[in-house]
Amino acid sequence: MAINTQFKNKVVIVTGAGTGIGADTAILLAERGAKVVIVGRREGPLREVEKNIQTLGGEVLVQIADVADLDMIEKVVKNTLAKFGALHYAVNNAGVSGENCQITDLPKKVWDETISINISSLFYCMKAQLGAIDKSGGGAIVNVSSVFADRGLPQRAAYSASKHAIRGLTRVAALDWATRNIRVNELQPGVIETPMTNTNPEESAQVATTIAVKRLGKPRECANAIAFLLSDDASYITGEEMAERGV
């Protein structure tokens, strides 16, 4: 497949890039000419994404890091600048689902881990990314949350709380950096076919019957939306939430 030029000479960091939405986003952006830094905790899946990007003829840097560790994230940005000389875009996609239970039964350890990975890590990522994007002349960030960023998901207190928090953090970043030529938006995926949903195919099939289009979303469909929000086609869009849920 030929590389097109939509993101030619642009550099993007994608977190949670080993599987699902992150993997498809990294590959799509590489197809469109971006130099891609793929970030995740597990090396194996990242190497598979790396192979796919290299097959396209794209440039890719693998970074094994825990997004909930600020020092690691700062090192990722430093290594990105050392490798490619700039940073223009970021897709902050890493996240976990937490545990399915009542608030009174939710272990503190699970709460702390979910909040750390789903929202504290987003703060760490933007804290490290924004200055680098600014020095590179501006760009855009997409924070991936969930359609449950504006509604409650029963028995998923930590997950729902963390996704609601992404909305606030995204809006503040958008306001603070708008005059610096940096746009910050949020994608709210619905139920998407990922390793997370594939662990319970019966439940996924049941959920699909409640969706207007009668199917789950595909990671590539989310990747297309993310690419739009990063692109110059969305040059007047910042601080917004794009919901992708099939109604």
Catalytic residues: 159
Q: Using the 8-state DSSP alphabet, how is residue 77 labeled?
A: H
Longest Cα–Cα distance of the chain, Å, equals: 53
Asked if 192 and 20 count as a contact pair (C-beta separation under 8 A), the reply is yes
Cα–Cα distance, 226 to 230 (Å, whole number): 6
Cα–Cα distance, 190 to 111 (Å, whole number): 22
- Nearest residue to 139 via CA among 190, 84, 189, 95: 84
Cα–Cα distance, 10 to 33 (Å, whole number): 8
C-alpha distance across the termini of the chain, in Å: 33
Kind of pairing, strands 241-244 and 182-189? Answer: parallel
Sign of the C-alpha dihedral computed for residues 79, 84, 88 and 91 taken in this order: negative
- Nearest residue to 10 via CA among 79, 58, 49, 47: 58
Q: Using the 8-state DSSP alphabet, how is residue 23 labeled?
A: H
Cα–Cα–Cα angle for 104, 106, 108, nearest 5°?
Answer: 115
